[in-house]
Structure 1
Amino acid sequence: MVKWEGVMPAVTTKFTKEDALDLVMFQKNIQAQIEAGVHGIILGGTLGEASTLEQEEKEILIRKCVELTEGKIPVIMNVAEQSTKGAIAAAQRAEKSGADGLMLLPPMRYKSTDRETVTYFKAVANSTSLPIMLYNNPVDYKIEVTLDMLEELIECENIKAIKESTRDITNVIRIQNRFADRIKVFTGVDTLGMESLVIGAVGWVAGLVCAFPAETVAIYELVKANRIQEALKIYRWFMPLLELDISPQLVQNIKLAEVATGIGTEHVRAPRLPLEGAERARVLNVIETAMRNRPELPDYKNINSII
């Protein structure tokens, strides 16, 4: 059973220089996430270079991640397909491969109407027994899941959560005012992570967590414990790194950060290419500056036992 709360990394997919899955580095990163105390793993999202992955590769990643997590935290598979038929097939394959839940995007490439989007989501939800987090990101995908659409969608009992990425954090409050605990709201924008948690988001689907899992979880746990000033101190340090997530080259940026912390490589799958020139120097400067000033973290894992 998926507990829809906490920090859930949208992990990068690790590749070798020969463009095969790098399961050795994948294992190292997942183990670092688990050790830091994340609350779930999301595979095959935008950061996971989903559009370039073969279905067989997705299934390998699910099975490997299920093996590594040992049932301690849920493994969520992203579904981002061009057709309803394709999305249903992907959802069912993910369930068969052992995923504990799904993150579901609206149809890719085609800008569906509200009615088409609702019908699409319902068809996929009704095709699987897995619990589902909807992904609401009209900035990048040009389709918004409105409150009225969500009202229709919660007729599907397995639609449990939403990744809120409209960039309007007051939407966190609007969703909770209308649906209370029926829909669990996650923030999906790194640079609005702490703010969203403070106003009531129950979780954070994060990007820079891929390289800095402990810092991300520490912010979440401190906010949850109402130790806002301590969380803010870490968040201020983190912000230049978090801004690397809101870029078309977020995958390359975050993979460079993973190299710096020793839990990833720079290899991306074409058509993506590693950064070069002035932009590479700029991103490396952000990462190197952060590494030099990396904060000392409180004992956030035992925060509830501290009086």
Structure 2
Amino acid sequence: MSIQWKGIMPAVTTKFTDNDELDLKTFELNINAQLEAGVHGIVLGGTLGEASTLLDEEKRLLTTATVDIVKGKVPVLINIAEQTTKGAILAAQKAEEDGAKGLMMLPPMRYKSGDRETVEYFKAVANSTSLPIMVYNNPVDYKVEVTLNMFDELLKCKNIEAVKESTRDISNVTRIKNRFGDRLKIMTGVDTIALESLLMGADGWIAGLVCAFPAETVAIYELQKAGRIKEAIEIYRWFLPLLELDINPKLVQNIKLAEVYTGIGTENVRAPRLPLHGEERKQVINIIEDSLKNRPTLPDYKNL
């Protein structure tokens, strides 16, 4: 296995300048904060990364820039979210050329593919690349579920190695472990049930609020891994109001506003998204400010 599917992997936000161009300076600031906190990988171009608004050349620039920033310390993954099989294969090939070490893959966009079509889509891409693949299973937001029976077929492709488990059903972690053991690694993908999923056997966490709070997120993972469950729960309980900002249609704006408060981002989003305003903005600011007032002192989680 070329990627260790474990630990905290931020689904990082894409930074934009006031002129709506890539802001690589602020982006590097945030990536370095993630590395300093001890994350285990970086995921580019997901929902939080505003993938649907990015040009192909911007995705490639983000990939090469991130590879240069991390300098091999952690693997860099890029999300594949395409409308056609041909487009997905091309995106995977470009990712490999640009130095990505793995792919996170959604089912086809726009068209609601059936089970057989979904399986053939993933297999076609897997057979076109040597990169390891994590299937992003999020039927709540993307309306296509990758079932265990479908994974039976998909796992015939050796480089399909992991699932980003976002069904919102914690018991699915146990179902996957019972069915596939360690053959299919599990990265939980929903912030508000992340610790519960890790305790039930998930291998890692593709996280959202980590973009603004990297140390707290990594601390939760490392503490539970070390068996210091009570300490992990205490941090997680403090974190929950912030984590709930991730399960919201405005998750990008919410998390980018949180990044401003922790000094590692800006509020700039790409239209049609707009920064939060009015009462909605006030509510999010209240959550962020209340959390910062009570921010926990973390143990030396890097040396457990």
Count of paired positions: 303
User: C-alpha displacement at 1:128, in angstroms?
Assistant: 0.5
Supply the AA of the counterpart residue of 2:278: G
The aligned counterpart of 1:37 is 38
Could you give the per-residue CA deviations for residues 76-125 of structure 1, whole angstroms, max 9, x where no partner exists? 00000011111111111111111000000000111000000000000011
The aligned counterpart of 1:287 is 288
Supply the AA of the counterpart residue of 1:118: V
Supply the AA of the counterpart residue of 1:23: L
Supply the AA of the counterpart residue of 2:144: I
Matched position secondary structure for 1:103: strand
The aligned counterpart of 1:266 is 267
> What fraction of aligned residue pairs are identical, expressed as a percent?
72
Alignment partners' CA distance in 1, 2:225 and 2:196 = 12
Alignment partners' CA distance in 1, 2:16 and 2:293 = 28
Alignment of 1:1-307 (within 5 A): 1-303=2-304
Matched position secondary structure for 1:28: helix
Alignment partners' CA distance in 1, 2:6 and 2:161 = 11
Alignment partners' CA distance in 2, 1:95 and 1:288 = 41
Supply the AA of the counterpart residue of 1:218: A
Could you give the per-residue CA deviations for residues 223-265 of structure 1, whole angstroms, max 9, x where no partner exists? 1011100000000000000000000100000000000000000
Could you give the per-residue CA deviations for residues 8-58 of structure 1, whole angstroms, max 9, x where no partner exists? 000000000100000000000000000000000000000000000001001
Alignment partners' CA distance in 2, 1:54 and 1:42 = 17
Alignment partners' CA distance in 1, 2:126 and 2:290 = 44
Question: Normalising by the residue count of structure 1, what TM-score does the alignment of the two structures yield?
Answer: 0.98
User: C-alpha displacement at 1:72, in angstroms?
Assistant: 1.0
Alignment partners' CA distance in 1, 2:95 and 2:53 = 17
Runs of 4+ in 1 over 4 A off after TM superposition: none
Aligned Cα RMSD in Å? Answer: 0.4
User: C-alpha displacement at 1:2, in angstroms?
Assistant: 1.2
Alignment partners' CA distance in 1, 2:227 and 2:111 = 43
Alignment partners' CA distance in 2, 1:185 and 1:226 = 19
Supply the AA of the counterpart residue of 2:80: V
Supply the AA of the counterpart residue of 2:293: R
Matched position secondary structure for 1:64: helix
Could you give the per-residue CA deviations for residues 119-154 of structure 1, whole angstroms, max 9, x where no partner exists? 000001111000000000000000000000000000
* Uncovered stretches (5+) of structure 1, i.e. residues with no partner: none
Matched position secondary structure for 1:181: coil
Question: Normalising by the residue count of structure 2, what TM-score does the alignment of the two structures yield?
Answer: 0.99
Supply the AA of the counterpart residue of 1:32: A
* Uncovered stretches (5+) of structure 2, i.e. residues with no partner: none
Matched position secondary structure for 2:157: coil
User: C-alpha displacement at 1:191, in angstroms?
Assistant: 0.0
Matched position secondary structure for 2:163: strand
Matched position secondary structure for 2:223: helix
Alignment partners' CA distance in 2, 1:122 and 1:169 = 26
